[in-house]
Amino acid sequence: MGFTDTRFNVNLSILFTELPLLERPAAARAAGFTAVELWWPWVDAPVPDPAETAALRAALDDAGTRLVGLNFYAGQLPGPDRGALSLPGAESERFRANVPVAVEFARSLGCTSFNALYGNRVEGVSEAEQDELALENLAFAARAVAEVEGTLLIEALNAPESPRCPIVSAPRAIEVVDAVNAATGLDNARFLMDLYHLSMNGEDLHEVIDRYTAKTAHVQIADNPGRGAPGTGDLDFADLLDRLTKAGYDGWTGLEYKPGDGPSAGAFAWLPAPLRAAS
């Protein structure tokens, strides 16, 4: 596989999870990676003890790994994701409380890319009310991200695994991106193109790349079926990543796949070591 024009980072919330959180940056660096991303690491604490964020910051710095992407609080991941954005009351308040904490933590590490997961539909509240609140919360997050000249990412999940999520297609995610930008006037919301989720939805990945690369600020990959490493399923990543490059994409591509039965360090044989370290 030829990926010489792709900048890869590894997601430490799905890979290296056999290790404690603070040991994962060093393990990723030992595997050759210099850039990492994270889901919000403290699933029950949108506002963790400052000592915990300081410890993770030190672990990333000590390992020589650069944080290039961070999720806002979304509850327990992988799913079922909670409706943090769209559920009135305490859950929405937890999301809003997390935003400035996450922005400051990421900013201190030079990271300005933030993923805000929409969450699931909830019982007892109309879809229109949920969507209205979600847009308000996304606009709130976009304004906070703008203070660090950052980007707010909107991701489409997949319907088979997240049947209650209202964003399960690239066109729907783009609608939300456009709505957030219209609401704020900041133009800092962008699409997170997760090729695994889109493939699970049965979307034409070539068409998605051709239509939406201009509005894409981050890419994530896993093979399908199985959500394993490239080469374990049917997706042709050499073709897909080459198509992204030709469409003008030059951002990060996050490895967000399951490592399989063995340790995570053994899940990168498909990617030559010189291509793991990215500037």
Residues marked as catalytic = 155, 256
Q: How far is residue 199 from each of residues 119, 172, 206, 247, measured CA to CA in Å?
A: 20, 15, 11, 19
**Secondary structure class of 200 (helix, strand, coil):** helix
Cβ-Cβ contacts under 8 Å for 1 (sequence gap 6 or more): 230, 231, 237, 238, 270, 271
Pull the structure tokens for residue 262: 């063995």
Reference 74, options 100, 50, 103, 44; nearest CA is 44
Cα–Cα distance measured from residue 62 to residue 43, given in angstroms and rounded to the nearest whole number: 24
**Secondary structure class of 193 (helix, strand, coil):** strand
Q: How far apart are the first and last CA of the chain?
A: 20
Reference 23, options 274, 269, 263; nearest CA is 263
DSSP 112-137: -EEE-------TTS-HHHHHHHHHHH
Cα–Cα distance measured from residue 81 to residue 121, given in angstroms and rounded to the nearest whole number: 10
Reference 7, options 274, 197, 223; nearest CA is 274
- Beta-sheet strands, E only, within 98-205: 113-115, 151-155, 189-194
